[in-house]
A and B are shown apart, each in its own frame.
Chain A
Amino acid sequence: MLDTKKIGSVMIVGGGVTGMQAALDLADSGYYVYLVEKTGAIGGAMAQLDKTFPTNDCSM
């Protein structure tokens, strides 16, 4: 890979809890992130859940 210059940006496909975590960690450590989401808003499946184990926190 020595012949190719590496690009300091990343594309993340999917704006659920997983994609968002990856995006935050990469942005926080110095990379430019494109977050591509298929639907009209990020949040993914977790945003649909009412509460989560173990604290029964609201999953928002």
Chain B
Amino acid sequence: MSFEPKIVAFCCNWCSYAAADLAGTARMQYPHNVRIIRVMCSGMVHPEFIMDALSQGADGVMVLG
């Protein structure tokens, strides 16, 4: 089986989360490996979260804001 990375993305409610919504509205297709966690601002993402995600097996973490 081919490698399927797991990616955790922290998305700001006001921009990147909205952008992800819009990508849906526009039916833009993208890989299914990303799991989005909504935050009220990317500044809310504590460094601990990134460590948490990586230590629990995430292959990548995105903080989008």
Direct contact of A and B (CB under 8 A): yes
Q: Could you tell me the distance in whole angstroms from the C-beta of A50 to the nearest C-beta in chain B?
A: 11
Interface residues on B, range: under 10
A57 is an interface residue with CB less than 8 A from chain B: yes
A55→B18 CA distance, assembly (Å):
12
Bits for A43-60, please: 1 = Cβ < 8 Å to B, else 0: 000000000000111100
Q: Could you tell me the distance in whole angstroms from the C-beta of B17 to the nearest C-beta in chain A?
A: 15
Collect the chain B residues with CB atoms within 8 Å of residue A57's CB.
22, 25
Collect the chain B residues with CB atoms within 8 Å of residue A56's CB.
26
Interface residues of A (CB under 8 A from B): 55-58
5 interchain pairs (CB within 8 A)? A55-B22, A56-B26, A57-B22, A57-B25, A58-B25
